[in-house]
Chains A and B, each alone.
Chain A
Amino acid sequence: MLYDIRQTTTYSYQVPVRVVRQVLRMTPVDRIGHQHVIAHILDIDPDPAELEHGIDFFGNGLTWLTLDQPHDHLSLTTRSRVDVTSTALPDPAETLLVDDVRAAALEEADLGPDAAAHGLFPSRAVPLDADITEWTATSFRGDRPVLEAGLELMHRVYEDFTYEPGATHVATPPHEAFAARAGVCQDFAQVMIAGLRGLGLPARYVSGYLRTIPPEGQPRLEGADATHAWVEIWCGPEAGWIGLDPTNDIAVGDDHIILAVGRDYADVAPVDGVIVTSGDHRLSVGVDVAPVVR
């Protein structure tokens, strides 16, 4: 599936700001077996004094940005053309057993970007939580195939939680969203991650986009007009990371365009930066994902 994606992010400052340093994670990159980035453009207004591109530890596209002239707004616009290939989901019943995945995760001699070990431990935005862990545990008997249990957990989140924009905010910890059984894609993903890790199973956070216009005859998916988030669960050395979208109760396919992966939201936040000002600031974000007719 071929997509044209456009994201606009605009900061407006009440009082002009002089110096800004930021790190952006807004550039999609090639993901073997899932997507190929054909073109990507980042427009920054006003023009930055310094601009550099690179790749972070997890292989995500990273941009360092400095503005050093007074400015009252900052607009970041990305336009990407990405080719997404849907890979077939392995047969859940054939995946490794939960106990074996747990053991394999500790034994892996890999510390690279996609290593299971990174998904195993509590992280800044996803601390372990006893309640979430116990809630998750009911799906994960040790002798059950891990993806079967994972799909069940995803379905439970989808069924038990209310999709409710405004119920949470970007820094809401998983236990709050869990207690409220409500939130948005970020909360659902982080609750799932907390539960999986509590059981010693590697899980990671993915940010990205979802196609805005559904194929004919199908319902519009939640999270399509903003950046989206979902989960990847590690299913053993063979199967590797498998994407599950608890917001829509679907395994990740060619509707999902990956922007960044990390241990939690803190690793993939599209913007990190600090300004010093006496005034307030406002932020607006717009996303448009259009399938390209070949």
Chain B
Amino acid sequence: MDGIAADIPPKTHPAVEGVIVSGAEQRSEVFERAAAESLIGGYRTLPGIRDEMMDQDGQPRRHWMPFLAALAELGSEELRRRFSAADRYLRDSGVFYRVYDDTGGGERPWSLSHMPLLIEDADWQVLSAGLIERAELLEVVLQDLYGAGHLVADGDLPAAAVAGSPEFLRPLVGIKPEGGRFLRVYAADVGRGPDGRWWVLADRTQAPSGAGYALENRLASTRALPDVSRNLNMQRVASFFQALRTSLMKLDRTGEGRIGLLSPGPLNETYFEHALLARYLGFLLVEGEDLTVRGDTLHVRTVAGLRRIDVLLRRLDADFADPLELNSGSRLGVPGLVQAVRMGGVSLANALGTGIIEAPALLAFLPRIATRVFGRPLKLPHVATWWCGQPAERAQVMEHLDELVISSAFGRALPGLPDGGSVLGADLTAIDRRRLSTLLARRGGDVVGQDIARLSTTPVWTGEKLTPRPFMLRVFLAATEKGWTVMPGGFCRISSAPDARAVSMQKGDRSADVWVLAEAEVADTTLLPSSANVKVRRSSGTLPSRAADNLFWLGRYVERAEATLRLSRVLVGRLAESGDSGTSPLVTRLLGLLGAWGAMPRDLARATPARYAVAVLTRRDVPGALPQLVQAARASASVIRDRFSPDAWRALVDLEACVDAPIPSAPSEADAAERADAALRIIAAFYGLASENMNRLTGWRFLELGRRTERAIGTLRFARTFGEMGAPLGSLDALLQVADSLITYRTRYVMMEARGPVLDLVLLDPDNPRSVAFQVHRMANHLKVLPGRDQDAPPPLWERLVARMQAELAASTAESFEPAWFDAMEKMLMELSDEIAAHYFLQGHSPEMTHSLSM
């Protein structure tokens, strides 16, 4: 690439000066170099390895200089501050990567290398053109493999090099995808060799991941260096996502603009990205169980019934997509999906079967196929590969073993070899070599030999200085009506060790943002999801039932947590105020309420109220205690993350952190009270963020319904326990406290608590946002406007239940509050909750399991 760089006349960077000096004085390159020197003084490139920032003479490359100068100008103190701001951004927005080998499959925060990878435009154009050509070739290969089969019949591709791939999906042979294309999203892992050329290391065609992470890295890095990125004419990536969205939208024939992002679910390593992309692109995040094939078309189960969905951005591996014709053991797919594809009822991006391109065996034949298809070699080379299913290639690989990497030809582990394959030939022991030799003799088709890629390095910031590390760059392409479009940027993964083999996020490497520097100023299209350039369109009818279910229960769990906290707070408050012992009648009632919810540990007998409160707040082994409630809330929220603002999600994470924080071994009432106060503040923040930042559409209504149902049930129980005739002294005060209505009461009645006014305020007052009447009115309002309600039919049971409760509340006075009244009200609320679930969530099914009928 040096050759190309040399063709570009030296240029100044007029935009950069704004950062460096306030005046109009033109800075020379000499000055930039001097400023940069402070950053790169100790930077030592690796011998024989190309570096992205430094040339072979130890001089910074031209396109890095304005950037380095700008960083130097900021100073290392300011840099540290800004880089930690980027880290904070990623942490706060909840960017996680699920790690499979962690015990419990934990989530790990994203690790961003703060130095972006800088690529100049001319260099980028060469890479882009090469990748576009490659994408076109791969489409031709897929069309042929699942179509006419000329490549195999004519001997350009051995049949066994195709048949060996687990991603050669035989049921898909002969099916032309609706819309004509197999590939709609393509990603390539590329690296730069010592000669400065870009090389393709691997193709990603199944369901490429990383575009969403690239987006997050961009947001984080531009947050850290906003002025710098702007002044360097960094190209924006938003247009890529728009192009992808537009091209998928064209496949929708329903005219309703509904596109699903099919995810395997929250246990997948990149689930965060699925949620992020769904939110960013305005797609429905769906899992297999949300979908059903009826006739030859695909439908999503929503709260308004089945809705047709024509287009899926597929992040589920194809083999799992249909238990009828693909992997019958899959519980993640949609029975009948292949048949829907066959009949043209649904378009998948990418089509089922595209994963076959990822088989390393194919790399051995692409050069030949390219010559056949284009009449010339590929513009962009890929790592040289020999498939050992051929005798000559097999001999070649054995002969040059020390200079090659041995890998599985189709991604399956190679038996008997270290790590199941992907080993440096030079690292093989004598025993390994004998095993390899037997394997090659018997099953040579399983093995490829590949050249060792010597990846170039890019600087990473270690907190003190810059150090070179090898990297791999994933570049993303989207098919549009006018051909392929390339995301100007990408997902750069940086090896944690100087050896660049096997860079993967699973192994704890870092990622970096990628800046493609344009020659001229870049139009200022913003990336932020809140902006109008990617318009979220989510009609109220397309809330999947599963999402509604989780929102409803999220509302219930958070509200239950709040009630538990309020009870605990009263419990410790009682003690502090009056010196009550654990056996006072009022404390007994408080404990009774907590016990009824399962929040009380059974192993605590005759403890002090403070100890009870602490147990309720901290015991993880007690099903109804706070930690498990918060965990349940977060579990519900985690499967619907696409529906939350990052801030609302953050509040839930904070709540969990608050509950998990260590508490002194001999906690005082003050400690317990402090914990309860802090948690209540976070819950208030969550509700605020949820109602401020969630669209007031169907999803928000289900969250509200859950919260209102739970609050009504809780308040009824409090009122019954503390408002009973002959309740112990202080009960009414406790009731006002747990119902958070003390202030309202005091401002309205300048007097001591009296049963009539207190119960009226807590149960009947429609203006008190804590009263049962208020909850029921809100529920009535939500239920009225939920979709799927046939206005001509008689009102459904849940509407009649709400109407009955409203009438009951309107007709009641403080004298009505007999135990039977409370029983009847609570029963109606429970029935209402069940009715909502039966109609909107389960759609006529009872709690059930999926069974395989396969035999």
Where the two chains meet, the residues of A that have a C-beta atom closer than 8 Å to any C-beta of B are 9, 11, 15, 18-23, 50, 52, 56-58, 64, 66, 102-103, 105-111, 115-118, 120-122, 124, 128, 130, 133, 170, 198-200, 266, 269-278, 281, 283, 285
Contact = CB atoms under 8 A, between A and B. Distances in A.
A284 B667 CA distance: 63
Given A23-B324, A111-B162, A117-B162, A270 B849 contact: no
Contacts of A130: 415-416
B467 to A, nearest CB: 43
A64 B339 contact: yes
Contacts of B854: 170, 269, 271-273
Of B162, B324, B443, most A-chain CB atoms within 10 Å = B443
Contacts of A283: 853, 855
Contacts of A271: 853-855
A168 to B, nearest CB: 14
A109 B159 contact: yes
A281 B855 CA distance: 12
Contact of B163 (A20, A23, A64, A121): A121
Contact of A108 (B160, B173, B415, B853): B160
B265 interface: no
B59 interface: no
A278 B389 contact: no
A106 B160 contact: yes
A272 B328 contact: yes
A237 B113 CA distance: 56
A106 B443 CA distance: 9
A105 B444 CA distance: 11
Given A106-B444, A272-B854, 5 more contacts: A56-B170, A110-B153, A170-B855, A200-B442, A266-B328
When A and B form their complex, which 4 residue pairs have the shortest distance between CB atoms, in order from nearest?
A: A117-B163, A57-B170, A273-B853, A117-B159
B336 interface: yes
B152 A276 contact: no
Instruction: Tell me the dominant secondary structure on chain A's binding face.
Output: mixed
B595 to A, nearest CB: 31
Contact of B848 (A11, A103, A198, A277): A277
A58 B327 CA distance: 16
Nearest to A55: B174
B75 interface: no
14 contacts: A15-B846, A18-B844, A21-B336, A64-B336, A106-B389, A108-B158, A109-B154, A111-B149, A111-B159, A121-B410, A200-B442, A272-B853, A274-B335, A276-B849
Contacts of B84: none
B328 A269 contact: yes
Contacts of A109: 152-155, 158-159
A130 B149 CA distance: 34
B851 interface: yes
Nearest to B295: A50
B544 interface: no
A11 B160 contact: no
Contacts of A19: 292
Nearest to B336: A21
B293 A21 contact: yes
A58 B171 CA distance: 9
B811 to A, nearest CB: 40
Given A106-B160, A109-B152, A115-B159, A274 B442 contact: no
Of B154, B164, B328, B390, most A-chain CB atoms within 10 Å = B328
Contacts of A266: 328
A102 B390 CA distance: 11
B377 interface: no
B847 interface: yes
A241 B293 CA distance: 38
Of A23, A133, A269, most B-chain CB atoms within 10 Å = A23
Given A21-B293, A281-B853, A273 B324 contact: yes
Interface string B442-483: 111110000000000000000000000000000000000000
Given A108-B159, A110-B159, A120-B445, A274 B324 contact: yes
Interface in B298-352: 323-325, 327-328, 335-336, 339
B335 A107 contact: no
B164 A121 contact: yes
Instruction: Tell me the dominant secondary structure on chain B's binding face.
Output: loop
A121 B410 CA distance: 10
A276 B852 CA distance: 9
Contacts of B293: 21
A102 B336 CA distance: 37
Contact of A106 (B149, B324, B445): B445
Contacts of B391: 103
Contacts of A106: 158, 160, 389-390, 444-445
A111 B853 CA distance: 31
Contacts of B170: 56-58, 118
Nearest to A9: B855
Nearest to B853: A273
B560 to A, nearest CB: 26
B163 A120 contact: yes
B606 interface: no
A180 B847 CA distance: 39
Interface in B836-852: 844-852
A19 B324 CA distance: 14
A64 B335 CA distance: 11
Given A128-B415, A273-B324, A283-B855, A278 B160 contact: no
Given A22-B324, A106-B444, A269 B849 contact: no
Contacts of A269: 328, 854-855
Contact of A57 (B171, B323, B335, B850): B171
Nearest to B145: A111
B412 interface: yes
Contacts of B164: 117, 120-121
A274 to B, nearest CB: 5
Contacts of A122: 412
Contact of A275 (B155, B443, B844, B850): B850
A62 to B, nearest CB: 9
A109 to B, nearest CB: 5
Contacts of B149: 111
A120 B853 contact: no
Given A103-B391, A272-B853, A278 B847 contact: yes
A12 B149 CA distance: 44
Nearest to B325: A23
A22 B335 CA distance: 8
Interface string B488-518: 0000000000000000000000000000000
A287 B43 CA distance: 78
Contacts of A64: 324, 336, 339
Contacts of A270: 855
Given A23-B324, A272-B324, A107 B158 contact: yes
A108 to B, nearest CB: 5
B443 A200 contact: yes
Contacts of A105: 160
Nearest to B289: A276
Contacts of A121: 160, 163-164, 410, 445-446
A208 to B, nearest CB: 15
A15 B848 CA distance: 10
Contacts of A57: 170-171, 173
A143 B845 CA distance: 63
A158 B184 CA distance: 52
A285 B292 CA distance: 29
A57 B155 CA distance: 21
Given A109-B155, A274-B324, A22 B390 contact: no
A202 to B, nearest CB: 9
A285 B851 contact: no
Contacts of A15: 846
Contacts of A21: 293, 324, 335-336
Contacts of A115: 159, 163
A66 to B, nearest CB: 8
A57 to B, nearest CB: 4
